[in-house]
Structure formats: C-alpha cells, structure tokens
Amino acid sequence: MQNQTSGKSSDQGGSATERFSSSGFILTAIGSAVGLGNMWKFPYITGKYGGAAFFLLFIICLLVVGLPVLLAELAIGRGGRGNASTSFIRLSKSKYWGGFGFLSIFGAFMILSFYSVVAGWTIHYAIISFSNVLFQDADYTHRFTSFAASGMPVLWQVAVMAITGAVVAKGVSGGIEKFNKILIPGMLVLLIVLIVRSVTLPGAMAGVEFFLKPDFSKLTTESVLVALGHAFFSLSLGMGTMLTYGSYVERRQSLGQAAAAVGAGDLLYALIAGLIIFPTSFAFGIEPSQGAGLVFMALPAAFSAMPLGGVFGGLFFILLAIAALTSTVSLLEVPVAYAMDKWRLSRNKAALWTTVLCCIVGVPSALSVGGAFSGFTIAGKSFFDFVDFVASNIILPVGGLIVTIFTGYVWKKAGEEAGLTNGMFKLWMFVIRYIAPVLVILIFLYSSGIISGGEYGK
C-alpha cells in the first residue's frame, strides 16, 4: 500500500470541514472499533461458539471482509467529504443514495440508544466494585436483575450521554480526537494490569487454552455467520461511523494503512479482553458460555474471591466504560454531522439535541431489562432487544451491503480515493464486488432469522 491520494474532490462545507491529525485519526477510529463488542459481546460469543476456533474464524472474517469494507467506508467519507448521507449523494450525484445513507444514520442513533444503557451499567458496576458494595451479597444475579429492574439505569444512561454529548460538542480535533488520544493508551495500561492479574491466577491456564487452542469440531455454520456479523459490528461498519470519521481525514493519509491499523487495534483489544476474561472465569469455575450476563453476573464472583478483588473489579469495569464511551462518541457524531449539515445547526446545538433525543429514546431500553417497561414487547421482544435486533441484525448488514455495492459498482473513482497499489486495488475490488456482498447477504439472512439459527447479538 502506498500513501498516495487523488487530491481531486474538493473540501466542501458543512460539518466535514474539520480535520483529524494523522495519529489522532487512527486512535479515534480504534476507539470507535474497540468497545462493548470487544469486552462484553466477544468473550461470551466466543465462549458459546467454540472458543479458540471461533476466535480464529473471527480473525479471518476481520481480514477477508472486515478490512475491505472498512477501507470502502473511509474512502466514501473522505471522497464525499460529507455526512453519512450527503457523501453518497456527492459521489453518485443521485439523491437515492442519500436515502440509503440515511438508513445508517438512523441505525447509529438506534444502536446508541441501547448501547449507552449498557455503558451506564459498566459505570455503576465500577463504582460499586471499588466501594465493595458489589460484594456484600454473593447473589450476583440477583444484584444485577434488581439493579436493572430499578430506575437507576436511566440515570446512568443519561450520564453516559451527557459525557458523550459534551465530547462531541467540543468538535473533531478539540473533543473527539483529544478524548481518544488520552483514553485509548490509558485503556492499554488498564488491560496490561488486568491481564497480568488474570493469567497469574491459579488454574488460569485452562482458560488460556480454551481461548487459544482451537478445536475445529466445535465450529458450526452458525459460528461462521456469528463471527462474520461480529466482525462488522466490532469494526463499527454499516452504521456510517467510519464513513463520518473518514470525512475528517486529511488527503495525505493512507487509508489502506489506517484500515490495517484499526483492524490490528481491534483484534489486539479483543485478544486481551479474552485473555482477561477466560482465565479469570476458568480459575473460579465459571462457565464462559453463560451469555450476556457473563460480565455482570458471573465475573463479580471471581473478583470477590481474589485478593484486592474490589480494585481489580473496579478497574475492569472502568475499562469497559472507557471502551464504551469512545464508541458512543463515534455513534453520536453520525447524527450530529447530519444535523449540522441538514439544518445548519451549530455543533453545540446539534450535539445537544441529538443527545437529548437519544436519552429519551433510550429510556424504554433502560427500563426494559426487568424494569418498568419489561412487560412491553414488540414482536415478542423487549424494547431493548427489539432495538438491538433491528439495528445490529438488520440495519447493520444492510448498511454494509450498501457500502459494498456503492463502492464496487456505482462510484467509479473509489480506487483513486483508496490509494492502493495496483495489485492491492484489484484484490480489494474483487472482495468488494464479489465476496463481501454475498457474505453480507448471508449475515443478513441469518441474523434477521430468515435462515435458521438463533439471533446474533443476544
């Protein structure tokens, strides 16, 4: 890959006149990719779908389809220099594509509305772990369900949104980039402390083995589709986030290198998260395939049993909170960039209104995991699960498909913007045209329940 740019498309007005610095952009994009997906979802789906064999599959999916689509999103953003809708319009000169782009803006908003709820749980858990309140009663399932059934998650969700809104309001380089430049390296320090703790626990090696020694007999078609879907979610694809970030990237930056760095960062954080969670679980006899409750209901038992467990537990949940916040910031930027362009709002106003709206839409999610809204179901699902389902399982793959079709068949100058060498360009186009769309359609058919299997993301 080489660092060449087309230098053709002009920098048109709107939100996309702001710019990232080069290293800041890579850290910020890693911040978006690394999130609850790596620290919360990845460990439990890995536990459920085959341990190390699943991890290997996830790596293949990241490399083969994740990175090419990531590069395509970044290129559309930088080439179009607009928000997740106008970039498509500028590059295709057709309003229809703007409508497709809008779908992903809506998706980002929906994901944010429930993702911020889980982010809120992590802050609450960090506090009660440091103060040892978490360990007063050994029934951690009950602690979690009674917390989720109270009104507290709403307050924590609002706190998460307030932080997110404040960062986004400060702008691309003064807010978003600065926030990530401090927190992403900070997160690495926390991860190293926690990894040293987890792998030195007696009995930890069984966990390391489970995570790193593949047993391919455990793989099913379902694991393959889940790994693919997760590669998309984990790289923040299909939601206009990488596209919007791409619109703030300098022309001289190599997008190919950036995409590779983001993929490597995402993988590294997933690897470390696994090396914290599996050894800890195995050392204390916890089943890693417990599902979504692994982190909030099972791991506290492990922390309570280790020396200085409150501190390690607290650090672990802070880590989750940081990972989540750097992703919520990227999600909020998508509708904010749109609102700034569409209604000519100042960044402050756009951030304020989208934050408020997201808090309101998030309330039923925050109250539906056992809370006041738990009796309210849509298509047999709680509000939280329904929004997660529509956003993660329908809008995300459809958004990904739009990106591949647009880059492969509609936008003729994609190659110039991506700045790849000839060989790499051919490979990229081959994947974007023929491989990625087929796989994305498969993810969609599977995760939406049209072909058999459970739903991804539960």
Query: Which residues would be at the binding site for ligand PHE (CB under 6 A)?
Result: 32-33, 35-38, 111, 233-234, 236, 239, 241, 327, 330-331
Element (H, E) at 166: helix 152-169
* Residues ≥6 apart with Cβ < 8 Å to 165: 332, 351, 352, 354, 355
CB of 327 to ligand PHE, least distance (A): 4
DSSP state of 377: E
CB of 421 to ligand PHE, least distance (A): 28
Residue 148 or 391: the one with the smaller Cβ distance to ligand PHE is 391
Residue 243 or 255: the one with the smaller Cβ distance to ligand PHE is 243
Residue 29 or 299: the one with the smaller Cβ distance to ligand PHE is 29
* Residues ≥6 apart with Cβ < 8 Å to 278: 43, 46, 47, 51, 207, 208, 210, 211, 288
Rounded Cα–Cα distance for residues 109 and 103 (Å): 10
CB of 216 to ligand PHE, least distance (A): 25
CB of 337 to ligand PHE, least distance (A): 14
Helix (H, G, I), strand (E, B) or coil at 81: coil
CA 60 to chain centre: 18
CB of 230 to ligand PHE, least distance (A): 8
Helix (H, G, I), strand (E, B) or coil at 271: helix
CB of 355 to ligand PHE, least distance (A): 16
Element (H, E) at 382: strand 381-382
Contact at 8 Å (CB) between 231 and 58? Answer: yes
Written as one letter, the residue type at 9 is: S
Give the pair of three-digit tokens for residue 327.
């992703």
Residue 244 or 368: the one with the smaller Cβ distance to ligand PHE is 244
CB of 102 to ligand PHE, least distance (A): 16
Residue 72 or 204: the one with the smaller Cβ distance to ligand PHE is 72
Residue 403 or 420: the one with the smaller Cβ distance to ligand PHE is 403
Q: From the CB of residue 202, how many other CB atoms can be counted at a distance below 10 Å?
A: 7
* Residues ≥6 apart with Cβ < 8 Å to 109: 331, 334, 335, 354, 357, 358, 361
Rounded Cα–Cα distance for residues 446 and 458 (Å): 13
Give the pair of three-digit tokens for residue 130.
């440091």
CB of 320 to ligand PHE, least distance (A): 10
Residue 301 or 323: the one with the smaller Cβ distance to ligand PHE is 323
CB of 269 to ligand PHE, least distance (A): 9
Q: How many Å from the N-terminal Cα to the C-terminal Cα in the chain? A: 38
CA Rg value for the chain: 21
CB of 238 to ligand PHE, least distance (A): 7
CB of 37 to ligand PHE, least distance (A): 2
Rounded Cα–Cα distance for residues 458 and 137 (Å): 27
Helix (H, G, I), strand (E, B) or coil at 378: strand
Residue 9 or 116: the one with the smaller Cβ distance to ligand PHE is 116
Written as one letter, the residue type at 253 is: Q
Rounded Cα–Cα distance for residues 149 and 156 (Å): 13
Residue 47 or 309: the one with the smaller Cβ distance to ligand PHE is 47
Residue 118 or 204: the one with the smaller Cβ distance to ligand PHE is 118
Distances in Å between the alpha carbon of 139 and those of 25, 143, 148, 192, 432?
Answer: 43, 6, 14, 29, 49
Residue 34 or 134: the one with the smaller Cβ distance to ligand PHE is 34
Query: 171-174 contacts: CB < 8 A, separation 24 or more?
Result: 171/18, 171/347, 172/18, 172/19, 172/20, 172/248, 173/18, 173/19, 173/20, 173/21, 173/24
